[in-house]
Chains A and B, each alone.
Chain A
Amino acid sequence: MAHLVGVITVTQKDELIGHEWQPRSYFNPVQDINDNWVISAEEIQGNINPDFPWVNDISPLIEYEPKPFPPITGDTGEFLGE
């Protein structure tokens, strides 16, 4: 299933961190495979924080491609599985 996200600038990322997009839910910008900072379609479409009206206008939405993370191992070297 495709997960849609919207690209934001580094400045916008810094503005959003630590702020809610709906009560008890905080923005969580992450980087995609191309090092773009992105937030999810849910945050873009569901944002009701009046301090960030521009969030609702982010477009186009693109398919999220996660960064390839190397397998994380535990202290004893085994596959973390996470």
Chain B
Amino acid sequence: MAGIRINSNNFNGKSVEITFNPFSGGTINLGTQTIPYDYVSSNYEGNYSIYIPEFDKTCPLQVGTAPTPTPTITPTSSITPTPTISITPSITSTPTPTPSSSEVAFDADAAAYLADVIASGGTTDATISAATNTLFTSLKSNGLYSKMKAMWPYVGATASSHSINALLDKTFDITWNGGMTHGVSGSTGNGTNGYGNTNFSKNDMTAYNDYSFGGYQNTPLGTATMISVFNSNNKCQLGANLSGTDWFARSMNNSQLSTANSGNITGNYIVNRDSSDDTAVYRNATEILSATQSPLVGADSQPFYVFNTNVSGSPGSNYGTHTMCFAFVGEGLTTSEITAFDGIINDFQTSLGRNTYT
């Protein structure tokens, strides 16, 4: 018996819904199948519609050549048994299936990130896929994607998937240490020995006076830092002080900025520095700290930590117990870009049910 094998470089193992329109006419619903899927039939030439619910995408696939308007009788052809047909050229680098003309294209970078999440053992679904696609497309349409140096969306609910830098420069995947736990809400510290090394240092920044960094905490921070490094040539910190009474930040300067930490407020925090020495801290798009400070100069290879401060190469004394669902390092942002960026990140968290404000 002849037939075809529907195969994919990136969606193998996924449940798909297949509809087949043979060139000979009619429609055959092949039902819900798991690819690779073998369709065994002597009449296998025609157009297949392969719907992937997890990504809410449809892959068209034509097998054979459509008959001409004036068909001629041809002798029975010899059919090669079970050829392998790929839906997309490469799911690893371009996991987006070819969409039909009526669909919005899935962002290739978002798809590549999601493929990496899955490859690392993370779990995704249609909601996560859609939210991630919107995250990427919104960052790009607002001119923010190119300003990101590294970002960690904490998707997939495993240590490996939460380590992934979504820009897919593997140099900046997070290395987790100690008893961190990871779930759909993000990554959570244990207050004992858990922290993450982002492997991103001052030396990886474009300029010492044009950068931003921050994170989204969806549970109270307590007395720890969210994303920090404290070394001779790089002092960038964001978090709460030892008593938990003040929010403080350092932005490439010895002096700290601080403000009352009323209620240990959760949300999205952004530290921003521009080329005119203006530095500011934003909570949920509202400026809460600002100053004019010249930046520390000189190279520094000590990386940012999350859930603790990198104090000259070692974690500090206070390990966080909070949950984070996003962190990033990027170039400096304008005021309007900060507003847009905050909205995009919060929309992403809202879609995943882990936002702390609206």
Find chain B residues with CB under 8 A from A22 CB: 159
A-side interface residues, number (CB < 8 Å): 33
Can you list 7 A-B contacts (CB < 8 A)? A5-B192, A24-B175, A39-B178, A40-B179, A72-B230, A74-B250, A82-B241
Q: A24-B159, A26-B176, A41-B179 are in contact. Are A75 and B192 (CB under 8 A)?
A: no
Q: How far apart are the CA atoms of A28 and B312 in the complex, in Å? A: 17
Q: How far apart are the CA atoms of A29 and B120 in the complex, in Å? A: 26
Q: How far apart are the CA atoms of A22 and B241 in the complex, in Å? A: 31
Q: How far apart are the CA atoms of A24 and B178 in the complex, in Å? A: 11
Cβ-based interface call for B317 (8 A): yes
Q: How far apart are the CA atoms of A41 and B192 in the complex, in Å? A: 10
Q: How far apart are the CA atoms of A5 and B194 in the complex, in Å? A: 12
Would you list which residues of chain B between 287 and 327 have a CB under 8 Å from chain A?
309, 311, 315-318, 321
Would you list which residues of chain A between 28 and 82 have a CB under 8 Å from chain B?
28-30, 38-43, 46, 64, 66-67, 69, 71-72, 74-76, 78-82
Query: Could you tell me if B237 and A82 are in contact, using CB atoms closer than 8 angstroms?
Result: yes
Instruction: Considering the complex, give the chain A residue whose CB is closest to the CB of B173.
Output: A24
User: Nearest 4 pairs between A and B by C-beta?
Assistant: A42-B179, A40-B179, A28-B178, A81-B241
Query: Could you tell me if B256 and A78 are in contact, using CB atoms closer than 8 angstroms?
Result: yes
Find chain B residues with CB under 8 A from A71 CB: 242
Find chain A residues with CB under 8 A from B230 CB: 72, 74, 80, 82
Bits for B161-185, please: 1 = Cβ < 8 Å to A, else 0.
0010000000001111111110000
Query: Could you tell me if A42 and B256 are in contact, using CB atoms closer than 8 angstroms?
Result: no
Q: How far apart are the CA atoms of A29 and B195 in the complex, in Å? A: 12
Q: Return the contact of A76 from the options B179, B232, B254, B311 (Cβ within 8 A).
A: B254
Q: How far apart are the CA atoms of A42 and B284 in the complex, in Å? A: 32
Q: Return the contact of A28 from the options B174, B177, B191, B316 (Cβ within 8 A).
A: B177
Which interface residue of A69, A74, A78 has the most chain B CB atoms within 10 A? A74
The number of A-B residue pairs with CB atoms under 8 Å apart is 118
Find chain A residues with CB under 8 A from B195 CB: 28
Q: Return the contact of A81 from the options B121, B176, B193, B239 (Cβ within 8 A).
A: B239
Find chain A residues with CB under 8 A from B181 CB: 42
Query: Could you tell me if B190 and A40 are in contact, using CB atoms closer than 8 angstroms?
Result: yes
Query: Could you tell me if B255 and A78 are in contact, using CB atoms closer than 8 angstroms?
Result: yes
Q: How far apart are the CA atoms of A75 and B179 in the complex, in Å? A: 31
Cβ-based interface call for B341 (8 A): no
Cβ-based interface call for B151 (8 A): no
Shortest beta-carbon distance from A70 to chain B in Å: 9
Q: How far apart are the CA atoms of A43 and B181 in the complex, in Å? A: 10
Q: Return the contact of B192 from the options A25, A64, A81 (Cβ within 8 A).
A: A64
Query: Could you tell me if B311 and A72 are in contact, using CB atoms closer than 8 angstroms?
Result: yes
Q: Return the contact of A23 from the options B159, B232, B254 (Cβ within 8 A).
A: B159
Query: Could you tell me if B254 and A75 are in contact, using CB atoms closer than 8 angstroms?
Result: yes
Find chain A residues with CB under 8 A from B163 CB: 24
Cβ-based interface call for B248 (8 A): yes
Cβ-based interface call for B240 (8 A): yes
Shortest beta-carbon distance from B234 to chain A in Å: 12
Would you list which residues of chain B between 255 and 270 have a CB under 8 Å from chain A?
255-256, 258
Find chain A residues with CB under 8 A from B250 CB: 74
Cβ-based interface call for B228 (8 A): yes
Shortest beta-carbon distance from B176 to chain A in Å: 4
Q: How far apart are the CA atoms of A64 and B175 in the complex, in Å? A: 23
Q: How far apart are the CA atoms of A74 and B35 in the complex, in Å? A: 58
Bits for B188-218, please: 1 = Cβ < 8 Å to A, else 0.
0011111100000000000000000000000
Query: Could you tell me if A29 and B248 are in contact, using CB atoms closer than 8 angstroms?
Result: no
Q: A23-B160, A28-B193 are in contact. Are A81 and B175 (CB under 8 A)?
A: no
Instruction: Considering the complex, give the chain B residue whose CB is closest to the CB of A22.
Output: B159
Q: How far apart are the CA atoms of A81 and B237 in the complex, in Å? A: 10
Shortest beta-carbon distance from A12 to chain B in Å: 15
Q: A24-B175, A25-B180, A82-B309 are in contact. Are A42 and B316 (CB under 8 A)?
A: no
Q: A43-B178, A78-B255, A82-B230 are in contact. Are A30 and B193 (CB under 8 A)?
A: yes
